[in-house]
Amino acid sequence: MPPSPSGLAAAALLLEAAAGYPGWLFRAIRHPVVWIGALIGWLDRSWNRDSLPPAMRRRRGVLAVGVLILASMVPAALLQGVLPWPMTAVLASTLLAQRSLHAFVSAVGTALDTGGLPAGRQAVAHIVGRNPDTLDEAAVIRAAIESLAENFSDGVVAPAFWLLLGGLPGIAAYKAINTADSMIGHLTPRHRSFGWAAARLDDWVNLPASRLSVAWLVGAACLVPGASPQGAMDAVRRDAGRHRSPNAGWPEAAMAGALGLRLAVGVILALALWLAVALWLAIALLLAIALLLAIRVLRSATITFATPNDTKIFEVLPHPHGHAHSTHHAPEPFVVASDMAKGVLAIVDTEKGERFRLTLTQCAAGLTASVSINRPAGNELLDLEPTAQNPLVYESTIAPAEPHEFTADLRVSAFGRQDALSFEMKEPEGHVH
């Protein structure tokens, strides 16, 4: 007797987690996604002519997506109809990505431990699209965790969801749409029109899984020591809708909240509960990898975060070279409280001289910050950048000019929104320049 859809999905997940896609098989016949990609490439070259008007290119893009779906679903339906269910589970497992995701993300941590920053940059280049040469160690780790969160949703949860809902044809159609979005769903001049249908359809087919992934990440945070399920839920409520993507912000916010990190941050269907046993194991494993990577950021943090009622946090701390940084002449810190950032802004002494330091207890994903000081001769603008040691601590790259008595705005922004928080700083009584 063939298993239920949930049994088929669980078997595929367990098979892929245990064996993955063997290298020898890839070398022999490549991978189903490579086959789909070849068809997409042919359609792009043949149908997406630069000489055609945008409306015609969009219609051809819609037709191309229809061809992809049929070319994926029809063979999958025929195979599911004639193969025994264990073989169907094996075929379905090739369209899941737990094991490869684990391998690529854990490789970043291994590379950082064994080869330092250059090796970490090289490893993270396999899973992110940005230029790794500009990333410091903390940024490499954040990029790996961000990629882990997003790819967990569209590489594990989404294909498993469509396997559960539509069997082998369902997961095949999903991978065709997702691959098309990766290849042609861009806003470049060539693909803005032709890739429109692929991009929009990919948003829709990933919507259920992106919300489902939050439930599994929150559940996994209950099981993994050091993770915070409440932090994950709070981050999703606060940041998920601010992401430029309608779906990626959900798992990224949940992962960031569970780990207490700042990352570049629906409906839960009852049918998805059938996937619980297999998915709990996969998510706990992935979140554990993320925790190991995150420890490299968190273990170097020495700052004590303030609460809104505790502004006396910048005490004289021993310096590694034997002297102390003093803030006795600095103005009182400004307590920051907005829906995008909470923490304390102060002028502190550092090895490089006086700097503005913004120490955050909570912030939106992708936050940027600057201070605009009102001076008689014009505004003095100081950009605040995350420090390499702790992504929740921002510092100005140059010192604020004297005197340190002024009115100013702290400008914070994320995902197209901006807050300007006005504050005033006064020199301590008796201070003389």
pLDDT at 17 over 60: yes
Distance of CA 40 to the CA centre of its chain: 27
Q: Is the pLDDT confidence value at 201 over 90? A: yes
Confidence of residue 184 (pLDDT cuts 50, 70, 90): very high
Whether the Cβ atoms of residue 83 and residue 91 lie closer than 8 Å to each other: yes
Q: Does domain 334-425 have CATH number 1.10.3720.10?
A: no
Place of tokens 């590379």: 111
pLDDT confidence tier of residue 302, bands split at 50, 70 and 90: very low
Between residues 327 and 384, which one has the greater pLDDT? 384
Kindly list the domain boundaries of the chain, sorted by start residue.
Answer: 5-298, 334-425
Inform me whether the pLDDT recorded for 284 exceeds 60. Answer: no
Average pLDDT over residues 365-388: 85
Q: Which of 417, 369, 413, 373 is nearest to 393 (CA)?
A: 369
Q: For residue 331, what are the contacts with CB-CB under 8 A and spacing of at least 6?
A: 346, 347, 404, 405, 425, 426, 427, 428
Q: Are 299 and 238 in contact (CB under 8 A)?
A: no
pLDDT at 26 over 60: yes
403 preceded by a cis bond (ω within 30 of 0): yes
Q: What is the pLDDT of residues 209-244, one digit of tens each?
A: 999 899 888 888 887 777 788 888 988 888 888 777
3-state secondary structure of 266: coil
Residue 289: in which H helix or E strand, if any? helix 276-298
Is pLDDT larger for residue 185 or for residue 402?
185
Q: How many CB atoms lie within 10 A of CB 324?
A: 10
> Cα–Cα distances in Å, from 61 out to 44, 159, 265, 406?
8, 23, 30, 57
Size of the chain in residues: 433
Instruction: Report whether 286 contacts 416 (CB < 8 A).
Output: no
pTM listed for this prediction: 0.63
Averaged pLDDT for residues 104-126: 82
Residue among 89, 74, 96, 97 nearest 5 (CA): 89
pLDDT band with cut points at 50, 70 and 90 for residue 293: low
Residue ranges with strand state E in 272-379 = 334-337, 341-350, 353-363, 368-373
> Which phi and psi (to 5°) does residue 384 adopt?
-105, 130
